[in-house]
Amino acid sequence: MNILRRAVPAGGEAPAAAAADALATGRRALPALGGSAWPRFLLAVAALAASILVATSVGPAGIPLEATVRIILSHLPGIEMADTVPPLWRDIIWEVRLPRVLLAGLTGAVLAMSGATYQGVFRNPLADPYLIGVATGAALGATAVIVSGAPHAWHGLSLLPLAAFAGAITSVVVVYAVARVGNTLPTTTLILAGVAVASFSTAITSYLMLRSTTHTLSVLSVVLGSFNTATWGEFTWTLPYVLPAAAVILLHGRLLNVLSLDEEQARQLGVDPERTKLLLLGAASLATAAAVSVAGTIGFVGLIVPHAVRLLWGPDNRRLLPMSLVCGATFLILADLAARTVDRPAEVPVGIVTAVCGVPFFLYLLRRTRLGAIW
Amino acid sequence: MRSCILVTVLAALLALAVACAGDSSSTARTPSAGHDASPAAASFDFDCQAAAAAAAPAAAAFPLEVSDSAGNAVTLQEPPRHIVSLSAGHTEILYAIGAGGQVTAVDNTSDCPAAVNDLPKVDAFSPSVEQIASLEPDLVVIFYDPGDLQSSLQALGIPVLNLAAPESVQGVYDQMALLGKATGHSGDAERVAGEMKEAVQDVQSRLGDAPEAPTVFHEIDTKYFSAGSGTFIGDLYGMLGADNIADATGEAYPQMSAEAIIQADPDVIVLADEDAGESPETVKARPGWGSVSAVKNDRIYVIDPDIISRPGPRLVEALRTLAGYLYPGLFP
């Protein structure tokens, strides 16, 4: 029972306490749960920092690393070291490449963290953040704007992310309203309603796409996902949704552990499963909707990254959630780096890279560790 | 897995979208601009608003056999008089070679010449065999077979020519000759193609004075899809001696990296995605594009996708329009 009273982000805990945790959550004690989680977490953060650096300094435009560093440092207050760098390079690094790298990182973080949340709440290893219609809703919203022929900008705001966001949120709210029975939210009903609504949105999107041949490319860009037109504006537009959502989710790692027990047991432990489910799903959906609205519906990250993290470091949500966040960011930054460099100066849709690179790695982990031992 | 399916669909639809840009909503604007440069020798023009001149087909050569681009041999006993055209480009070719009077129905993207707006419309992308058969055509021209369209119609005894969208200007001439033969307008087709070649030659002959080849970025879509060599659009730029930055990809319709475009520093940007809300102003407002020559020198142009993406008689207009964008000094 001590699990309920302990401070939330538990770093540097004793192995004994970890073992007690594992018992309390009704799971086998796994080697991954032993020892401190901090060294691994710091390693993951270092890998993320390195991937940001590499992704920012490598691209179709060959800009020397030294110039890249100068350009970035010169944006810190009081430092001016980019005098000698051509303005073209400054534009490419600061206005094109860096926002793209950061947006990819933010999207990867959101998708992986939300995926871990969904998997925990639904107690289903197949859950991903698109399970209850966020992606298809976003695609439908964006497609409606694209085929309407309306200008995509409105009072200086880009309509496309707004429409995608509205579509995603509408979809989730509809699914939730349908699945709700009194005060409870049966997860099976939720999944079925989600799949049904997603099929409906996909049908409409496909129809609109086929009806309007001139806009096929724009629609497919949304469906496949791309960071090619990322801007600082898009990055900052997602932050107000992503940051609070991430805070809520990360603070609920412990409750998510309890929730992954039987709901009845959770209730006995003093947790209100309905309220927690609603809060976690709401936060994960909101963050995913914001990410999808600017990045398109990039598949696979939300499913695979949490599983990979689980295979490597165990199922404890207090570690799984932050670790998924960091590893998701790293993974999508590197995937996007590949997307814009393997076929330069052309692009490869990033959703294809995530699948092509992610699947073999995941299968390797699966083979090595046996998911069943953990899930 | 979803992605893999999508990629396959993408590849198919890309070609379609580009080959057949324009939908029924664009009926209202069928510009015939771009021919203001009025050379004395070559004045070929295909005006969508002009009344289509139709001539009686020559029956002497029939029966005859033609092969379409899918490799099917099609036998025609006599000149077809009830043609259904399933692409805007082929519709324009048929009218240009004087076979307009034999056209019975067109697809819903065909809107030029204006006469076709009175004809029954067939859906271009999911055509109904039943509807087409009910029009009792004696020739159906398609540019893409969504699956069994050709065999279904042939099973009903309807000859079908499957002519894939040409990937070059020469391909347009070839299809004009083929459609001329199939419709009994070989002579007309040859004459019109000759006039077009003359007009093209006229534009090209003036390029000799060009100082140097401008680099160009042709934007099909808001996510920076472009057209490289090996496409009809790319061929137009090639004929104008332009340095198309999409050629570096070696792909037909590549998506260009934003930073690769900026790095390539195009002298001219041509927007074919005005429908999607792009304009010279929106391009200038893109973060990081400020140092691109085309932006600095205000050389961002909007082109009607219908004239540049329909392989047909309006390629002359497309070429003249692009020449004006690329070499404003030579084509005032």
pLDDT per residue over A182-196, tens digit each? 777 787 888 899 999
- Tens-place pLDDT, residues B202-225: 999 988 776 788 999 999 988 899
Put simply, the answer to whether B2 touches A347 (Cβ < 8 Å) is no
Which domain range does residue A130 map to?
Answer: 39-71+92-373
Put simply, the answer to whether A346 touches B257 (Cβ < 8 Å) is yes
Confidence of residue A17 (pLDDT cuts 50, 70, 90): very low
Put simply, the answer to whether B259 touches A214 (Cβ < 8 Å) is no
B302 in contact with A, Cβ within 8 Å: no
Give exposure, A50-71, as e/b (b: 16+ Cβ within 10 Å).
ebbeebbbbbbbebeeebbbbb
Q: Would A20 be classed as within a structural domain?
A: no
- Tens-place pLDDT, residues B251-310: 889 999 999 999 999 999 999 988 777 889 989 999 899 989 999 999 999 999 889 989
Residue A215's nearest CA partner among A276, A156, A149 is A149
Q: Would A1 be classed as within a structural domain?
A: no
Tell me how far apart the alpha carbons of residues A182 and A262 are, in angstroms, rounded to a whole number.
20
Q: How many CB atoms lie within 10 A of CB B3?
A: 23
Structural domain count of chain A:
1
- Tell me which residues of chain A, numbers 5 to 44, contact chain B at a CB-CB cutoff of 8 Å: none
Q: Would A3 be classed as within a structural domain?
A: no
The pair of three-digit structure tokens given for residue A260, joined into one six-digit string = 């992954």
Question: To the nearest 5 percent, what fractions of chain B are helix, strand and coil?
Answer: 40, 15, 45
Cα radius of gyration rounded to whole Å, chain A: 21
Q: Would A16 be classed as within a structural domain?
A: no
B125 in contact with A, Cβ within 8 Å: yes
Q: Would A168 be classed as within a structural domain?
A: yes
- Asked if the model's pLDDT at residue A31 lies above 90, the reply is no
Which residue on chain B is closest to A220 by alpha carbon?
B10
- Tens-place pLDDT, residues B23-47: 333 333 333 443 444 444 467 888 8
Question: How many Å separate Cα A63 from the centre of its chain?
Answer: 30
pTM above 0.90, yes or no: no
Task: Find which of B20, B263, B282 to mutate to test the A interface (most A CBs within 10 Å of its CB).
Answer: B263
A283 in contact with B, Cβ within 8 Å: no
A335 in contact with B, Cβ within 8 Å: no
Q: Mean pLDDT: which of A298-312, A339-353, B286-300 is highest?
A: B286-300
- Tens-place pLDDT, residues B95-110: 999 999 999 999 988 9
CATH code where residue A226 lies: 1.10.3470.10
Q: Would A23 be classed as within a structural domain?
A: no
Who among B258, B264, B277 is closest to A96 (CB)?
Answer: B258
Q: Would A31 be classed as within a structural domain?
A: no
Put simply, the answer to whether B287 touches A96 (Cβ < 8 Å) is yes
Tell me how far apart the alpha carbons of residues A26 and B214 are, in angstroms, rounded to a whole number.
70
Tell me how far apart the alpha carbons of residues A66 and A49 are, in angstroms, rounded to a whole number.
17
Q: Would A28 be classed as within a structural domain?
A: no
Out of A160-169, B77-86, B111-120, pick the least confident: A160-169
- Tens-place pLDDT, residues A310-326: 888 888 889 999 999 99
CA of B63 vs chain A CAs: smallest distance (Å): 37
- Asked if the model's pLDDT at residue A261 lies above 80, the reply is no
B110 in contact with A, Cβ within 8 Å: no
Who among B4, B223, B256 is closest to A345 (CB)?
Answer: B256
Q: Which long-range contacts (CB under 8 A, 24 or more apart) does B5-9 make?
A: B6/A220, B6/A223, B6/A224, B6/A351, B7/A224, B7/A349, B7/A352, B9/A220
